[in-house]
């Protein structure tokens, strides 16, 4: 299997987001999740993504329970500074919090080192230089190998990179969320930073299997912070945008999910290199198997360009997050800084 680089790390061109096995998409089954994680490694996934926030640490504990005995088979990413307090997310990017979160994550993951450790969200009350400084201390202590940032703006990335090389930026990017195309992808290429798209399937929308929020269970982020595009009326209109994608999927003999992932995997930067590493998340074994099949989709540059043109974010009804969340998301600053 082809490999891609994240700083000093080498990983498969598609990773596995682990959040939904413990958080964000309603109830899950631990026995199924343990089977899923082991089969994912067997199939070639070797880049796993978790966070302190996911299930208030339960997701990290799940990974340890399921595959700590196979630790040398995967690159492990986790995140700090975003955590649950009284059921509500809180951001705390102070150095002491970052170091405390790392120690707790290492204990839950039952590992000596986290390969890639992200600042999950920028704390508006803490200069990015201070937060990155804490991450640098963790590198020096041998607790983490590479530093990443999540949902930050290009300006914030430049400031952080001036303190210490940033290996990866993780932000939402898919056919229906194109914000990184404004500035972040070019900034990452300039600085030598790998871009990791999360929610590459649009929270299931791009698979054609999603339902509007009225059919979803409590605890599903599509009934809360990620609801705008899943409101019943918006969802009906947005679903019409899938028709041209289905036509292409039929021509390529692949599923909609595989098409959306292949669109990311086959994108090239200004040097003609394929560097993106999407991390679709799932709690379903069959979807995990389906997603890695995206690596077998024979997608040409013309098809990549065609998909980019037929599915435009400006045609999507609703923002990707609720208004209150959008206002504090540092990455959204790239919309006004171009």
Catalytic status, residue 54: yes
The residue with tokens 């974010």 is 313
Catalytic residue among 25, 45, 54, 173: 54
Look up residue 203 and give its two tokens.
């929270």
Alpha helices in the chain (DSSP H): 30-43, 58-67, 95-109, 128-140, 154-163, 184-191, 232-239, 243-252, 256-265, 285-292, 301-310, 323-328
Look up residue 93 and give its two tokens.
């990017």
Pairwise CA distance, residues 334 & 182, whole Å? 7
The residue with tokens 């992808």 is 185
For the chain, the distance separating the N- and C-terminal CA atoms, rounded to the nearest angstrom, is 37
Pairwise CA distance, residues 3 & 36, whole Å? 22
Element (H, E) at 75: strand 75-80
Widest CA span in the chain: 53
**Residue 146 bridge partners (DSSP):** 116
Q: Which of 317, 257, 321 is nearest to 289 (CA)?
A: 257
DSSP assignment of 279-315: --B-S-HHHHHHHHGGGG----HHHHHHHHHHS-GGG
Active site positions, annotated: 54
């Amino acid at each position: 299997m082809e490999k891609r680089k994240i700083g000093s790390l080498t990983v498969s061109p598609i990773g596995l987001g682990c959040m939904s096995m413990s958080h964000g998409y309603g109830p899950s089954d631990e026995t199924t999740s343990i089977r899923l994680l082991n089969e994912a490694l067997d199939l070639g996934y070797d880049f796993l993504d978790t966070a302190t926030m996911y299930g208030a640490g339960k997701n990290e504990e799940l990974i340890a329970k399921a595959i700590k005995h196979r630790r040398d088979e995967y690159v492990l990413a986790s995140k700090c500074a975003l955590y649950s307090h009284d059921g509500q997310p809180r951001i705390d990017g102070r150095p002491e919090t970052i170091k405390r979160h790392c120690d707790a994550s290492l204990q839950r993951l039952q590992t000596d080192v986290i390969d890639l450790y992200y600042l999950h969200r920028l704390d508006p009350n803490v200069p990015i230089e201070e937060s990155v400084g804490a991450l640098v201390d963790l590198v020096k202590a041998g607790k983490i190998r590479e530093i990443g940032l999540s949902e930050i703006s290009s300006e914030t990335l430049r400031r952080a990179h001036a303190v210490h090389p940033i290996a990866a930026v993780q932000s939402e990017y898919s056919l229906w969320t194109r914000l990184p195309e404004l500035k972040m992808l070019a900034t990452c290429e300039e600085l030598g930073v790998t871009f990791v798209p999360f929610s590459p399937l649009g929270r299931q929308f791009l698979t054609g299997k999603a339902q509007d929020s009225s059919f979803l269970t409590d605890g599903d982020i599509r009934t809360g912070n990620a609801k705008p595009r899943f409101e019943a009326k918006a969802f009906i209109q947005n679903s019409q945008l899938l028709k041209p994608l289905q036509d292409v999927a039929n021509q390529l003999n692949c599923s909609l999910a595989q098409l959306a992932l292949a669109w990311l995997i086959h994108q090239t930067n200004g040097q003609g290199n394929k560097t993106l590493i999407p991390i679709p998340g799932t709690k379903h074994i069959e979807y995990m198997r389906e997603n890695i099949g995206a690596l077998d989709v024979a997608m040409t540059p013309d098809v990549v360009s065609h998909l980019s043109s037929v599915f435009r974010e400006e045609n999507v009804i609703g923002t990707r997050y609720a208004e209150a969340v959008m206002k504090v998301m540092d990455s959204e600053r790239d919309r006004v800084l171009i």
